[in-house]
Structure 1
Amino acid sequence: MKRKRIIFGIILIAGAVLLLLGNMQLLNGIRVSTIIFTVLFAATFFESLFRRSIPGVLFSIAFLAIVYSKPLGIESLTPWPVLGAAFLASAGLSLIYHPKRRYQAHNEWSAKEWEDFYDTDDIIDENNIKFTTTFGNSIKYVTSANFKSAQIECNFGNMKVYFDNAVILEQKAVIHLDISFSGIELFIPKGWTVIDHTERPFSGSRQINESQPDGSATVLLTGDISFSEITLNYT
């Protein structure tokens, strides 16, 4: 996390310097909007690289190529050819390569509990589950009597996951999301406390109904949501 803050700090300072130089006419007529977009997409690139997000990296490069298409002499490739190439490359690489990401422990989760969860490559048992959808639509149900963790992956599809029949006996659980170019809706009991630590480059979120935490369980929501939309539906 410290390294991430340092990278973003350097990018923002560089953007401030470029903005001042641009207004002083020292950058050969480079527009202020170009500087702003450069800082924005450079920040997204390094954030995606830090999180090993393939779509985030490729689309950041694509947007930078669009911004600098004239100086680079690639106007014939922008905007749609380069965006299409980024989309197809993201789809192909997402199918081939699934990087294992590491996250810091938060709140009452211990480092060992996090390590045990993120070392999971497949379904362990009915209390630690994994759902995957690629190029399709799916509906999943979690009916565990002692729900502990869920790893949900969805690429170029739509997924609905129902947790309303799951029971958390140990008062805490983790839902990890790896979502790209998709729509996902999570149906969560309104009594659960949800702590959201997801990263959402180029993505949106919405909530249906109000949560009414009763202290019975806390769920940590983590992972990467790229070019997608997540809906939290409290039931």
Structure 2
Amino acid sequence: MRAKTKVKLNRSLLGLGFIAAAVFLVMDQLHLFPFTLGFWSIFWTVIFGAALITAIVNRRIYSSIFSAAFLLIIYAKPLHIQALAPWTILLAAILLSLGIRLLYKKSFSPTIVVNGQKVDVNWSDLKHGRLFKGRKNIMDDTSFGVDSDNVVISSSMSDVSRYVHSQNLRTITIDSSMSDINVYLDDAKAAGDEVIVNFNSSMGDVNLYIPKNWQVDNQLAGSLGDVEADYVAGDGPRLVLKGRASMSDITIKHV
């Protein structure tokens, strides 16, 4: 449903953009602007303007940066930035993108707990289901699906929904970047007194739906984000939030 909504929104933005282009073209020919645009300037304004708005709506930061850069090139004269050559603006966009990527790259080393043991691994090891060298007693090749003891969810620039049915749930690892993730645990059962959720999230939203009697223990390290949970006094297992969430909103809901 959400994907269909985004498609409709993208089409609407593009349609409005072409309508705006028609209006701007007429106004330009009537010399109603204090500067001259021209047909191709208006055409590319619509293309890159629609791309910029779509990228912002879909949280595509790199597309947003380059769309804005091309708009700056088109409007260099009206903005009085002719001193900046097009290659300078594009190079600045590339450097800005690289800087943001390095700042929010999944390069930190959070504490990852699997089957009650701390493991020293990279997120890519979890993502691709690799066995931990010398730690085969911790995790096996079947430990990644929604029915397994240790669930791994990985997403980049997309919407993901996972319904976890594990009856012996120990850990959930969420590795996300610019994504909206929904995890439904109302049909899951904890293996013991707690279920650990390892977060590596940046610039996205994560919603966890948990059983009514589960407790929430927030040990999450976050920056420029928010954790919202209805902390109820239940007698069930604890959901322990670990890891890091940067510019992300984490929501825990009892169902």
TM score, norm. by length of structure 1? 0.53
1:155 to 163, 167, 177: 177
Alignment partner of 1:141 out of 142, 159, 163: 163
Partner of 2:149: 127
Larger mean Cα displacement after TM superposition, 135-144 or 116-125: 116-125
Amino acid at match of 2:167: A
SS in 1 for 2:221: coil
Asked if residue 188 in structure 1 is aligned to residue 197 in structure 2, the reply is no
- In 2: Cα distance, 1:229 partner to 1:85 partner: 27
The number of residues matched between the two structures is 147
Q: Does 1:102 align with 2:124?
A: no
Q: What percent identity do the matched residue pairs reach?
A: 18
Distance change >3 Å, CA 180–CA 86, structure 1 → 2? farther
Larger Cα-atom Rg: 2
The question of whether the paired residues in 1 share the 8 Å contact of 2:223 and 2:246 is answered with: yes
Counterpart of 1:199? 221
Distance change in 2, residues 1:134/1:112 (3 Å):
closer
Which sections of structure 1, spanning at least 5 residues, go unmatched?
Answer: 1-75, 106-110
Q: Is the 8 A contact 1:177 1:222 kept in 2?
A: yes
State how 1:1-235 maps to structure 2 within 5 Å.
86=96, 89-91=99-101, 98-102=107-111, 113-116=116-119, 121-122=125-126, 123=129, 124=140, 125=143, 126-207=148-229, 210-235=230-255
CA distance in 1 between partners of 2:231 and 2:211 (Å): 8
User: What do residues 160-181 of structure 1 show as CA deviations (whole Å, max 9, x unaligned)?
Assistant: 1111111013122211111101
In structure 2, the CA distance between the partners of 1:165 and 1:86, relative to structure 1 (3 Å rule), is farther
Aligned partners of 1:102 and 1:118 also within 8 Å: no
Q: Which amino acid aligns with 2:175?
A: E
Aligned partners of 2:115 and 2:171 also within 8 Å:
no
Answer 1 or 2: which has greater helix percent.
1
Cα distance change of structure 1 residues 94 and 155 upon mapping to structure 2, 3 Å threshold: same
